[in-house]
Structure 1
Amino acid sequence: MRATLRQAGRATVHLTVAGAMAFGTYLFNTVLLITAIGTVAVIGVWLLPETVLLVRRIAGAKRRLTTAWTGREIPEAYQVIDGPLTQRLRTAVRDPGTLTDLRWMAAYYVYGALLLLALPLWPVGLVVDGVGCGLLHRRAVVLPWITRLADREANRSTSLLRPSPKALLAARVEQLTATRADAIAAHGAELRRIERDLHDGTQARLVALSMRIGLAKRAYDHDPDTARKLLDGAQEQAEKALTELRHVVRGIHPPILTDRGLVGAVRALAAGAGLRVTVDVAGLADDGPRAPAAVETAAYFVVAEALTNAAKHSGSPTASVRITRVRRGLRVEVADQGHGGAAESSGSGLLGMRRRVAALDGTVRMSSPAGGPTVIEVELPCVW
């Protein structure tokens, strides 16, 4: 009985908030009317995209309310409204999500009124004894009814607010366009870094090596001792050039990933991070299946970047790395107990990390409030 009462209490809260939102949509009629008149009159056409954005926020609040009741997230699929006024108007009108939200709002005018009328009925059932029925029996009848009413309201909202296949496809295309642009930008930056490393490091050493060998050839006949010293210097330059080349190669695909796998490579990163780093691994075994090379590389560089940032900026002496094999891919979490405040705009490499992950259709979530802690969580999809 207590469980039923608690569930009915949750249902009451849900229906009360839903009823308040329904009442709010009636008041929103005035905004829609003003927008329609302004659009027809042209002088108020700028109101249209702003009103669509407001409708999105109202629908988003309803999605969150419904998700909190059902436990099933309702996805959003909107096109970004920005740019000049003509572009904003075009996007607001053509976005399939606009029609979905307006259809939900129109339906909400109808069943929202029924919801407002139904709300007072169930408390009445709790205090009125029927003929031959005690209060406890009356509660047993009414409480499940209010829960079913909340279920029906949530199911109705879910069906109306769920994006259409066309909207989902449009949102997916927009997402892929953005991630492709980010991937191209990240790839271009990586190529420029490799070119800079080769030009400033390896090429300079190879030029010096060639000059030393040339000088040694000239001095070989008349001054063998000088030629020998020059050749010794040339050997040293060759070794440094090889070191530079290995550094560049590690920036493309760290050989340690091939030799030790992701877990071993991350443990090596932790050992040389300059912090006390704990590494926790779940679902990965040295002799088990490995993620694709691109996924392992992205995960490796995420850990490397996060630990570098922690050592440089966090002020924390410790950090933790957790790598988990999940059903749809790989999850990487790096945390430190520093002073927080990390941001992508601060030039800490977080934007490059996000671009690298987005290129693989992964996600990055970061929490870094002032005072800490900083937690970076990355999910990389892959097939095991």
Structure 2
Amino acid sequence: MWKTVRRAARATGHLLLAAVMAFGMYIFVTVLLITAVGTLAVVGAWLLPETVLLIRRIAGAKRQLTAAWTGVRIPEAYQPLTGTVRERFRTAVGDPGTLTDFRWMVAYYLYGALVVLALPLWPVGLVVDGVWAGLLRQKPLVLPLIVRIADLEADWSTALLKPSPKAQLARRVAELAATRADAIAAHGAELRRIERDLHDGAQANLVALSMRIGLAKRAYERDPETARRLLDEAQDQAEQALTELRNVVRGIHPPILTDRGLVGAVRALAASSGLQVVVDDAGMGEEVRAPAAVEAAAYFVVAEALTNAAKYSGSPRAEVALTRTRRGLRVRVGDVEGRGGAEEGSGSGLLGMRRRVAALDGTVEVSSPVGGPTVIEVELPCVW
């Protein structure tokens, strides 16, 4: 009985919030009428995108309310309202999410009344079920009905607010377009880095090597001692050029990944970072390797995060966790006693990290409150 009372009380709270939202929706009709008149009059066309944004916020609040009751998140699929007034107007009208929200609003005007009418059932249920179940030892009648109404209201809201396949496709296309742009930017930056490293390092050493060999050839007959010295210098120059080339190759795909795998490569990074780094790889499970691109991205994330921690955090310690998930690979890097306050636009490398991960359709979450610590969590999808 008490379990039923508690669940009915929670259902009543859900219905009360839903009823408040329903009353707000009835008042919102005025805003819709003003928008409709302004849009028809053309001069008020700018009202439509703003109204659509407001509707999105209302629908978002309803999604959160419904998810709090059902425990299942309702996804959103909206196209961004940006650009000129004409572009915003065109997006607001053509976005499938606008039709979804409007359809829900119209339906909510109707079934929202059911929510309002169900509120008095709570005191009635306490009295009726108190006698029926408490004194006569029968199963409660009214209180389970309150829970059923809350379930029904949540089911209807979920069905109406769930994005249509067309909206989900439009959002996915927009995400892929942004990801492609980030991948192109990351690829361009990588090419420029390689070109710079080759030009400033290996190429300069190879030019100096060629000059020394030429001088040695000219000095060989008349001054063998000078020629021998120049050849010794040329050998040193060749070794420097090889070192530079190895560094360039290591930046493209570290050979240690091929030799030791991701776990071994990350442990080597931790050992050479200058910090006290604890590596937790227990979540990697069986020795099944991720695709090379995924391993390279994970290695880059750990290397960049540990470099940032050593340079900016002020913390002597850091933690790295590698976890194999059902959908891919999770990488978590955090300093233990850092000062926090990391920002993407401050030269910390976070933007490059985000672009590299986005190119693989992954996600990056950065938590860095002022006072620390800074925690970077990356999800990289892959098939094991």
Q: TM-score range by the shorter chain?
A: over 0.9
How far apart, in 1, do the equivalents of 2:100 and 2:133 lie? 46
Matched, 1:257 2:267: no
How far apart, in 1, do the equivalents of 2:2 and 2:310 lie? 52
How far apart, in 1, do the equivalents of 2:227 and 2:269 lie? 42
The 3-state SS of whatever aligns with 1:270 is helix
Following superposition, the deviation at residue 140 of structure 1 comes to 2.9
Where in structure 2 are the equivalents of 1:132-151 lying within 5 Å? 134=134, 140-151=140-151
Mapped contact 1:324–1:330 kept (Cα < 8 A): yes
Aligned to 1:312: 311
Q: Which amino acid aligns with 2:225?
A: D
The number of equivalent residue pairs is: 383
Aligned to 1:207: 207
Matched, 1:366 2:360: no
Moved more, 66-75 or 233-242: 66-75
How far apart, in 2, do the equivalents of 1:307 and 1:280 lie? 15
The Cα offsets for residues 157-216 of structure 1, whole Å up to 9 and x where unpaired, read as 000000000001111011101100110110011001100100111100100000011111
Q: Percent identity?
A: 76
Matched, 1:16 2:16: yes
How far apart, in 2, do the equivalents of 1:376 and 1:130 lie? 53
Moved more, 266-275 or 4-13: 4-13
Aligned to 1:268: 268
Mapped contact 1:127–1:135 kept (Cα < 8 A): no
Q: CA 1:228 to 1:132, structure 2 compared with 1: closer, same or farther past 3 Å?
A: closer
How far apart, in 2, do the equivalents of 1:181 and 1:135 lie? 69
Where in structure 2 are the equivalents of 1:66-145 lying within 5 Å? 66-128=66-128, 134=134, 140-145=140-145
How far apart, in 2, do the equivalents of 1:182 and 1:74 lie? 27
The Cα offsets for residues 313-359 of structure 1, whole Å up to 9 and x where unpaired, read as 11111110100000010001111131111111212111111111111
The Cα offsets for residues 118-159 of structure 1, whole Å up to 9 and x where unpaired, read as 112122220247886646858833332222221111111000
TM (norm. structure 1) is 0.96
How far apart, in 2, do the equivalents of 1:351 and 1:297 lie? 17
Q: Which amino acid aligns with 1:118?
A: A
Where in structure 2 are the equivalents of 1:28-43 lying within 5 Å? 28-43=28-43
How far apart, in 1, do the equivalents of 2:259 and 2:4 lie? 58
How far apart, in 1, do the equivalents of 2:169 and 2:131 lie? 57
Following superposition, the deviation at residue 71 of structure 1 comes to 1.4
Q: CA 1:129 to 1:213, structure 2 compared with 1: closer, same or farther past 3 Å?
A: closer
Following superposition, the deviation at residue 307 of structure 1 comes to 0.8
Aligned to 1:169: 169
TM (norm. structure 2) is 0.96
Following superposition, the deviation at residue 282 of structure 1 comes to 3.1
Q: Which amino acid aligns with 1:320?
A: E
Q: CA 1:129 to 1:204, structure 2 compared with 1: closer, same or farther past 3 Å?
A: closer
How far apart, in 1, do the equivalents of 2:378 and 2:135 lie? 54
Q: CA 1:129 to 1:103, structure 2 compared with 1: closer, same or farther past 3 Å?
A: closer
Q: CA 1:137 to 1:97, structure 2 compared with 1: closer, same or farther past 3 Å?
A: farther
Mapped contact 2:100–2:163 kept (Cα < 8 A): yes
The 3-state SS of whatever aligns with 2:261 is helix
How far apart, in 1, do the equivalents of 2:317 and 2:129 lie? 64
How far apart, in 1, do the equivalents of 2:63 and 2:152 lie? 15
Aligned to 2:59: 59
Q: Which amino acid aligns with 1:165?
A: P
The 3-state SS of whatever aligns with 1:140 is coil
The Cα offsets for residues 284-306 of structure 1, whole Å up to 9 and x where unpaired, read as 25x72110000000000011111
The Cα offsets for residues 248-302 of structure 1, whole Å up to 9 and x where unpaired, read as 00110000000000000000111111111100013425x7211000000000001
Q: CA 1:130 to 1:370, structure 2 compared with 1: closer, same or farther past 3 Å?
A: closer
Please list every run of 5 or more consecutive structure 1 residues that lacks an aligned counterpart in the other structure.
Answer: none
How far apart, in 1, do the equivalents of 2:129 and 2:69 lie? 30
Please list every run of 5 or more consecutive structure 2 residues that lacks an aligned counterpart in the other structure.
Answer: none
How far apart, in 2, do the equivalents of 1:164 and 1:226 lie? 80
Q: CA 1:135 to 1:81, structure 2 compared with 1: closer, same or farther past 3 Å?
A: farther
How far apart, in 1, do the equivalents of 2:269 and 2:246 lie? 17
How far apart, in 1, do the equivalents of 2:132 and 2:253 lie? 79
Mapped contact 1:128–1:135 kept (Cα < 8 A): no
Mapped contact 1:201–1:241 kept (Cα < 8 A): yes
Aligned to 1:334: 333
